[in-house]
Amino acid sequence: MKFMLHILGIFCCLCSCALGQNISVRPNVVNIGALFALNSTIGRAAKVAIAAAVNDINNDSSILAGTKLVVQMQDTNCSGFLGIVQVADLVEYYGWKLVTAVFIDDDYGRNGIAALGDELAKRKLKILYKAAIKPGAKKSEMAAVLVKATMMESRVFVLHANVDSGIAVFSLAYNLSMTSGGYVWIATDWLSSYLDSSPRLDMGLMSIMQGVLTLRLSIVAPEALNRKPSSPSNANKKLYTAIWPGETTTRPRGWVFPNNGNDLRIGIPNRVSYRQFVSVDPQTGVVTGFCIDVFVAAMNLLQYPVPYTFVPFGTGRENPSYTELIDKILTNEFDAVVGDIAIVTNRTKVVDFTQPYIGSGLVILTSVKKQSSIGWAFLQPFTIKMWCVTGMFFLIIGTVVWMLEHRVNDDFRGPPVKQAITVFWFSFSTLFFAHREDTRSTLGRFVIIIWLFVVLIIQSSYTASLTSILTVQHLSSPIKGIDSLIASDEPIGFQVGSFAESYLVNELGVSPSRLKSLGTPDQYKEALDLGPKQGGVAAIVDERPYIELFLSEHDKFAIVGSEFTKSGWGFAFPRDSPLAVDLSTAILTLSENGDLQRITDKWLTSGSSASPSDDLDADRLHVHNFAALFIICGLACIVALAIHAGILYRQYTLHVAAASGPLSAAGSSRSHRSSLRSFLSFADHREVEFHKSANKDHAAIAAGGSSSGVSFTSSNSTNTSMSR
């Protein structure tokens, strides 16, 4: 109410001054302009108050005596708020996740910092700490605020204050060594503009504030600026290399470990089983294990010291719930969680994980039986399709060789039954290189050479596969994978504290009544030995690293199927923690320099993790294993038959021409050429008969007599074939 009365009084004074200059001529309308930052608290309140005051004045005719008051309000879009947007863009551009806001704790300061927080939130950044300075504070009070701010992680300071307070803050920061290497100060635009030309500053402080603390940099990427044509308007927008505090061109990280004297509280699972990953000595409290060694090695690679303390979580009687362990970060009981923590979707929504340091995924562990060799084991090296394709090629090769050898080789002639038997015998005897028939044609030998090479490869592969099948004990299980396990309706085991339980229930729809919690490898073995009919389980679903450790000591069990989830283990930190980023880089370094593998070899041993069904299938030979050989052999057959057909057709043409003679009728010649039966009869005869007949015909034609060539007609083909 007082604010509105003040506004009303101000307007009355303004109107009186405006109207008092010329009483005799009273205007109908008095226009007054008002400039406010409408995005600020004051601006929003003033807008409402001014509108109400104008309405009251115009409704009371005794104030302006019939003159109407019009107030035109404009948003100043003040440089302070434009500067806030630019500051947020600058912080985002340089990759700083956290900032410390230093401001005067009045309406203007609070509104500016609130606007900054909103702009940073749009870019998934945030204000880590708000260093509020009371209006009219003494230098000692300002210094206390700045000292407290230096104990926080962020080294990026955004100053939002009036000129006098800003100068005082800068002077104190300089005296507190807060302008050295690693610090970044960003002032809002109105203060930056003042610093550009202010005569009130001595040259030393001016240099510090302009060259070190106040970044007047373009936030537009150099690539974007360079693509634009040069012009006077954008010549000043080019982004030059910044000289950061400490006279360096290296961009400050913008974050350090907080210097507040407190160690990081690192929560670790107090495991009961699989203590190779994390182990806490109940007597001395010493923490060891694979995960611990990886964490310590990564921390040693950081460029700044980070004091920390391991805090065990769990009763020590059973493995703790990892979901509850992660929740301790949300309640600030732990600053981080280290251990065999699987990176799963639900957890990534509440915490940040480092780069995975070991691969993981859910697999199925079950009992397997040794598969003895059966009487039909000799068929197992080839798949059914492979047997069919191989047999078909034996017949194809036999037929092709018969076609190429029939006219020149007596071994491939005779009665039809004898020739069919020869084709089958020759085909399959090549498997043992025991074929008695000789090949005389060049094309036939060409095909046989390629085929014998294919047979050699197939025979050698078959022998090796059969040897493996007969000598290696294969394992079998009725459960082949996650689908058959879900469909079986039999009990399923899982490790206490693992996310496997929630995944089976929520993602795969397994009934909770089917699940049985197991805590130790001995319980794994006992439950699998008993089986579902005696109170045990049909299989256990757990992460691969645990299962591989279990299999290194138990060979009666095996992994069936493949991993049905893909994840890894990482270290958990609060959201937007810079430590998660730095440790991820350190983990990658450990992987590249071989230290991660050495730690793995120290703590973990590889077990038999192959799938039994995959073992047998890996020994079997498929068609695609010999696809190239079959294609080459098929092409050789096609080429040989094409050449043979061309030669045969040419001989037949010459034979017809010789048999017709120069005086033969044209109709008789056409009849011979078009007769398929005559061509087949010609192809069935020996090639030597063709040569003899051709020689006699040439001799008769030369003597002027008629041709006495042999007539290969259908009438005598049957009779002559009986003598071949």
CATH code: domain of residue 86: 3.40.50.2300
pLDDT number for residue 40: 64
Spell out the residues 6+ positions from residue 663 whose beta carbon is closer than 8 angstroms to its own: none
Q: Both 47 and 92 in a single domain? A: no
CA-based end-to-end distance of the chain: 130
Strands 98-104 and 156-160: what pairing?
parallel
The structure's pTM equals: 0.56
Dihedral (Cα; 311, 315, 317, 320), 10-degree rounding: -70
pLDDT average, residue stretch 498-513:
92
What percentage of the chain reaches a pLDDT higher than 70? 73
Last residue of a domain, one of 75, 104, 131: 75
Residue 586 has pLDDT above 50, yes or no: yes
pLDDT number for residue 715: 36
Q: Give the pLDDT band (50/70/90) at residue 610.
A: very low
Strand partners, 367: 557
pLDDT, one tens digit per residue, over 109-140 is 888 888 889 989 998 888 989 999 999 899 99
Which of 424-438, 596-610, 691-705 is least confident? 691-705
pLDDT number for residue 25: 64
Q: Both 83 and 218 in a single domain? A: yes
- Of 652 and 627, the structure prediction assigns the larger pLDDT to 627
Three-class SS state of 279? strand
Q: Both 301 and 288 in a single domain? A: yes
What percentage of the chain reaches a pLDDT higher than 90? 29
Last residue of a domain, one of 31, 54, 75: 75
Q: Give the pLDDT band (50/70/90) at residue 673.
A: very low
Q: Both 211 and 139 in a single domain? A: yes
Q: Both 85 and 181 in a single domain? A: yes
pLDDT, one tens digit per residue, over 478-504 is 788 898 899 888 999 999 988 999 999
Which of 192-196, 547-551, 582-586 is least confident? 192-196
Q: Both 650 and 601 in a single domain? A: no
pLDDT average, residue stretch 410-416:
76
Q: Both 645 and 589 in a single domain? A: no
Residue 526 has pLDDT above 90, yes or no: yes
Which of 233-247, 584-598, 700-714 is least confident? 700-714
pLDDT number for residue 589: 95
pLDDT, one tens digit per residue, over 199-214 is 444 444 444 444 444 4
With tokens 């050429």, the residue in question is 673
Three-class SS state of 398? helix
Q: Both 578 and 649 in a single domain? A: no
Q: Give the pLDDT band (50/70/90) at residue 195.
A: low
Is there a domain that residue 515 lies in? no
Is there a domain that residue 175 lies in? yes
CATH code: domain of residue 327: 3.40.190.10
pLDDT number for residue 276: 93
Is there a domain that residue 314 lies in? yes
Spell out the residues 6+ positions from residue 269 whose beta carbon is closer than 8 angstroms to its own: 278, 312, 313, 314, 319, 320, 322, 325, 339, 340, 497
pLDDT number for residue 382: 86
pLDDT number for residue 410: 72
Distances (CA, A) of 232 to 18, 238, 288, 324, 495: 44, 11, 64, 61, 69
Its domain, for residue 161, covers: 79-222
Last residue of a domain, one of 172, 197, 222: 222
pLDDT, one tens digit per residue, over 423-466 is 888 877 887 776 666 777 888 888 888 988 988 998 888 888 88
Residue 672 has pLDDT above 80, yes or no: no
- Of 678 and 635, the structure prediction assigns the larger pLDDT to 635
Please name which of 112, 172, 167, 116 lies closest in space to residue 142, comparing C-alpha atoms: 172
pLDDT number for residue 203: 42
Q: Give the pLDDT band (50/70/90) at residue 47.
A: confident
The amino acid present at 155, given as its one-letter code, is R
Q: Give the pLDDT band (50/70/90) at residue 518.
A: very high
pLDDT number for residue 619: 63
Q: Both 93 and 215 in a single domain? A: yes
Is there a domain that residue 425 lies in? no
Is there a domain that residue 436 lies in? no
Is there a domain that residue 109 lies in? yes
pLDDT number for residue 664: 45
Q: How far apart are CA 44 and CA 421, in angstroms?
A: 106
Which of 44-58, 591-605, 703-717 is least confident? 703-717
Q: Both 8 and 63 in a single domain? A: yes
Q: How far apart are CA 18 and CA 29, in angstroms?
A: 11
Is there a domain that residue 257 lies in? no
pLDDT number for residue 550: 92
In this structure, what DSSP letter does residue 244 have? Answer: B
Q: Both 164 and 92 in a single domain? A: yes
Q: Both 69 and 135 in a single domain? A: no
Count of structural domains within the chain? 4
pLDDT, one tens digit per residue, over 234-263 is 444 455 566 676 667 777 888 877 766 688
Question: DSSP characters for 30-41?
Answer: EEEEEEE-TTSH
Which of 217-231, 238-252, 255-269, 319-333 is least confident? 217-231
Strand partners, 187: 159
pLDDT, one tens digit per residue, over 66-116 is 788 888 776 655 444 457 788 888 888 888 888 999 999 988 888 888 888
- Of 542 and 5, the structure prediction assigns the larger pLDDT to 542
Is there a domain that residue 285 lies in? yes
- Of 491 and 10, the structure prediction assigns the larger pLDDT to 491
Which of 175-179, 422-426, 629-633 is least confident? 422-426
